[in-house]
Amino acid sequence: MIKENSQEKRGETAGKGIIHGISAIYLFMVACMVPLYMYDGYYGLSSGKFILYRNIGFLFLPILLFLIIGKGIRGIKQEERLGKSGIGRNKFLLLPEICLLLYGLCNILSFLLSPYKREGMFGAGGWYMGLFSQLSFLILYFYYAYVWEAEKEVVAVILTVCGFICVLAVLNRFGIWPVAFRGRTENTLSTIGNTNWLCGYLSVMMPAGMVLFWGSLRSGCRKQAGKQRGKIAAGLFTAAAFLCAAIQGSDSGLLVTGTVLSFLFLISCRDTEDMDAFWDVFLTAAGAWLIGALFRDCFPQRILYDSRSLSLIHMTIMVPVFLAALVCRGLWRLWSSKAEPEKCLRLLARMKKGFLILGVILLLAAVLFTAAGLWGSDELKSHFPYLPVFDEQWGNGRGGIWKECMDIWLSESTVRKLFGVGPDCLRVFLYTEQGNNPLLSTAYREAVLTNCHNEWMTILLNTGLAGLFTYVGFLAGMARRLLKKGNLSSWIGAAVLVTYTIHNMVSFQQITSTPLLFLILGLAWNGSCADKSSE
């Protein structure tokens, strides 16, 4: 009897080890190999990455789905046996999970109702955000949130790969190509490709590494000598990511940088130790920008590409920024060390409140000026001659795209308003049914319009109001849950969610960023529950 029990335990342990190995391999492939993979340089880069993502999905996703269902059934049976009805860690039917499941259902219904099923299954060529990708995102989240056994080493591996990609992008921008990738242009960098895609990748990975570095700088971690190497590694990653975002050339890098620093400032307003860590992170970022400016001014002939964001990387700008960061850090440390703790907390609370009010005012102003620029009359626009009214030409034509796409959605039938034209079917719908639209016949005569350059608007057209409502419900529910949890893992997840969402107001879902969003949200929720249970 004892022998049988021991054999059963060994078999169970071996089975768990195999399952864990399978899920670890899949995680590594999605988070590391897909961003790194290049089949033929920059030729067909997105197609090559998606084929890799699809093929490993065919192999691993059915296994992960089976394990998710098994975990859910066991959790329900265990709660019934114990007579529990409360919400626990293994309870799937929580608000974000309900919204995510409904989002998957909306994608399925949109696909079934769409006349473009060939395009809807895998998505438009070059983008591939069809039904397969959308459902894979659900499996990624549920498995790594509820089945995966958290391992902190995984984060280190993922950030190491991202750090390599960032360093390679910086070298490429300076005209240094350790590997001569075929098809390279001024607008392609590292193994991600287009600078817009690189910013999408950074919108997920940069906040994860930055918040991890911030957490290692807080006083509770400063005294742990064994974590010094991890702190140094996280600091190097943070410097590389901030430098990459500044020097890659796309203005989206400014949006990513501003968002992650704003988020970090807000969560640092809890106490003086967190604010100390914030100023250290900001000083690290300023130091990285200063190094980039130094090399750019010393070797101006190395960078042939130019943009508004790159124009900021000069010594005349970055030296004052670095000195200001250094002075602010010193003044904060000096004042907080002498002031009473309660006085510090009151000041931090006022700083947070003022920052939030300013953010709301700027957001409302942006919405109002965008609406005035896109849908307002010429007479209305004439009243704002010196204010930034966003017209059809704003954002490389994004204003015109948004206006036309909203008008198209409003003109569609009720069914299409609710469920859209099909997952990632916007391109085939536009060129099949809207071919005479001025947006396609004039502005995009020499190019192909695949999405709205706004994630939420693209979802609205692809999967309708139902798809958008459930997707936003999932993001809002996750943001509230992670912020409420209040530990390092949850802050990492919240930072990634907020930065990705704000960046994608002017961008789109990508195979090198959106799977990582759902993966990191799952890992963050898993890790935050593990952190809580170990306290």
Q: pLDDT tens across 144-155, in order?
A: 999 998 777 788
Contact 127, 450 (CB under 8 A): yes
What is d(CA 264, CA 429) in angstroms, rounded to the nearest whole number? 41
**pLDDT of 320 above 90:** yes
Contact 198, 250 (CB under 8 A): yes
pLDDT tens, position by position, 470-488: 999 999 999 999 999 989 9
Query: Which pLDDT does position 86 carry in this prediction?
Result: 47
**pLDDT of 14 above 80:** no
**pLDDT of 193 above 60:** yes
What is d(CA 495, CA 195) in angstroms, rounded to the nearest whole number? 21
Report H helices in 376-448: 378-381, 394-411, 414-419, 426-433, 438
**pLDDT of 341 above 60:** yes
Lowest mean pLDDT among 216-220, 362-366, 393-397, 419-423: 393-397
Contact 221, 285 (CB under 8 A): no
Please report where in the chains the tokens 């798809």 appear, as a residue: 467
pLDDT average, residue stretch 216-240: 78
pLDDT average, residue stretch 197-220: 91
Query: Which pLDDT does position 330 carry in this prediction?
Result: 93
**pLDDT of 140 above 90:** yes
Contact 139, 128 (CB under 8 A): no
pLDDT tens, position by position, 59-101: 999 999 999 998 888 877 776 666 554 444 444 448 999 999 9
Residue 381 banded pLDDT, cuts 50, 70, 90: low
Q: What is the mean pLDDT of the chain?
A: 86
pLDDT tens, position by position, 47-62: 999 999 999 999 999 9
What is d(CA 424, CA 133) in angstroms, rounded to the nearest whole number? 10
What is d(CA 396, CA 454) in angstroms, rounded to the nearest whole number? 13
Query: Which pLDDT does position 534 carry in this prediction?
Result: 47
Query: Which pLDDT does position 208 carry in this prediction?
Result: 96
Domain ranges of the chain: 12-147+398-534, 158-338
pLDDT average, residue stretch 429-453: 74
- 3-state DSSP assignment of residue 305: coil
Query: Which pLDDT does position 156 carry in this prediction?
Result: 87
Helix H, strand E, coil C: the string for 213-253 is: HHHHHCHHHHCCHHHHHHHHHHHHHHHHHHHHHHHCCCCHH
Query: Which pLDDT does position 92 carry in this prediction?
Result: 45
Query: Which pLDDT does position 364 carry in this prediction?
Result: 85
Query: Which pLDDT does position 2 carry in this prediction?
Result: 53
**pLDDT of 202 above 60:** yes
pLDDT average, residue stretch 197-216: 95
What is d(CA 443, CA 446) in angstroms, rounded to the nearest whole number? 8
**pLDDT of 377 above 80:** no
What is d(CA 296, CA 126) in angstroms, rounded to the nearest whole number? 33
pLDDT tens, position by position, 93-137: 489 999 999 999 999 999 999 999 999 999 998 889 999 999 999
**pLDDT of 265 above 80:** yes
What is d(CA 158, CA 284) in angstroms, rounded to the nearest whole number? 21
- 3-state DSSP assignment of residue 505: coil
Residue 535 banded pLDDT, cuts 50, 70, 90: very low
What is d(CA 472, CA 398) in angstroms, rounded to the nearest whole number? 21
> In terms of pLDDT, which residue wins out, 323 or 451?
323
Query: Which pLDDT does position 90 carry in this prediction?
Result: 43
What is d(CA 497, CA 514) in angstroms, rounded to the nearest whole number? 10
Query: Which pLDDT does position 188 carry in this prediction?
Result: 87
Q: What is the pTM of this model?
A: 0.92
Query: Which pLDDT does position 59 carry in this prediction?
Result: 94
Contact 458, 509 (CB under 8 A): yes
> In terms of pLDDT, which residue wins out, 529 or 513?
513
Lowest mean pLDDT among 5-9, 193-197, 257-261, 272-276: 5-9
Query: Which pLDDT does position 235 carry in this prediction?
Result: 94
What's CA 21's distance to the chain center, in Å? Answer: 26
Contact 107, 122 (CB under 8 A): no
Question: In this prediction, what percent of the chain has a pLDDT beyond 90?
Answer: 55
